[in-house]
Structure 1
């Protein structure tokens, strides 16, 4: 899935931020990136998201900050799209902040450096939980409820202050991640990501993926790794492991049942790839969930 470059504030030279409220059957599956940073509060929905090279399931009540030019997508499960064609299932509030323009509002060197440092860290993407998540969510609702531009800007600066003051977040993309996507790329990656997200619980063949992009296997492997910084097999297994973690948290399925329901053809492979991805075995992970 090729990330499309998007201009959020194009034509609005003086705007430092933009507010977007989504109330739709499902989120767009377009993989894209933009210069503006994006703070997204998912009020209602579930599916799978990709931010940089981070792949994980998402659910309602999630709060994510996406840094400048970091490719990302929120993709609903296919069954959710099918079942909710006529109902609003995807609800979210997003605030887009232009980093350079908002820095232009400040004059004190310490403040400028503080905000710059936050934007540097945010290039890997951030997930917030706990008290800071609650404060940010309340502040975002406050921004969306304001009726005047001055009040919205004041509420926005309060959000920025919260973001720059906390260290309570999970970084999403890996430390060495860089955006290698080019605007001249065609829709090859669009097809592949959607194909994997919708079919990870079935057999996914490298040959099939290569054919979908009109490449041979060797060329496809090079192309995919250059764009995502991981092999296709690793990518597919990470999607499957992410779903397995979700099922462990939400169901009482046995580990063997989890393995096959997530697309692994053997319990041995599931245990092997789970430990590679998480550093512990599925059994240890499940026990940790119970204790927690």
Structure 2
């Protein structure tokens, strides 16, 4: 245990504690809250990819491209290939996304600013158009994803939601720790340097284009993982997973949580899901306006996101 602690910093130990608490809550919280947390964790993984690119000075308006590839990859693996193991289905979705990202990244790594944002959006909408026109993939209706097994264990209908929740908690914990290690590594530091001054990075003998490419592919992999989790949790995939509003939702969550810490996307995703659920319940015809007001207030009073509240509080305690 001491050896493990020495390998983990305070942030990573904090993630472990939160993960254990979430696991313990699985037998206490109601089903609707368990489902809400599962979807929030899945979307937080996608937002991690968005934040990772933001730290390099790039904003992706097409992250739904890989979110949908992860979902459709898992769904097609179950529906058409007859694979029912959840972990294999997630691997299929992530592998498909990484292949696509490596091809698209050769082009996108050359662009910055609005050009990068618009190209990512265009690629996502191309996939949306393909999915809508593909009758064998359900066209506009999509298709259902059969229940999965977990390393040979086939959960009953009553335990299916619990299994997906525990899977989301486990993968969320692994993803958070992995990306924290990436951010504090030399690669993560140089990625931020790309945002500040690409010329100086080039003078150091490193390729800014290669760093952006690595960032893009890494973000694609974690986003596809979130898409696969969503497909397993909801039991359905459809073209809306690739639509531009879905990408906008991920950017919204990134702004809501902030980019100052790896935990921020998880906080933002949970708060976003809670606000949207409440808004749809109380004002089903104007819930989009509610989200817009929240974003406006956030930009005006908390431009660095919700995570900046914790930073201000910690500074106040130290003072």
**TM-score class, shorter:** under 0.3
Q: Which has a greater percent of helix? A: 2
Question: Which one has more relative contact order, counting CA pairs under 8 Å at least 6 apart?
Answer: 2
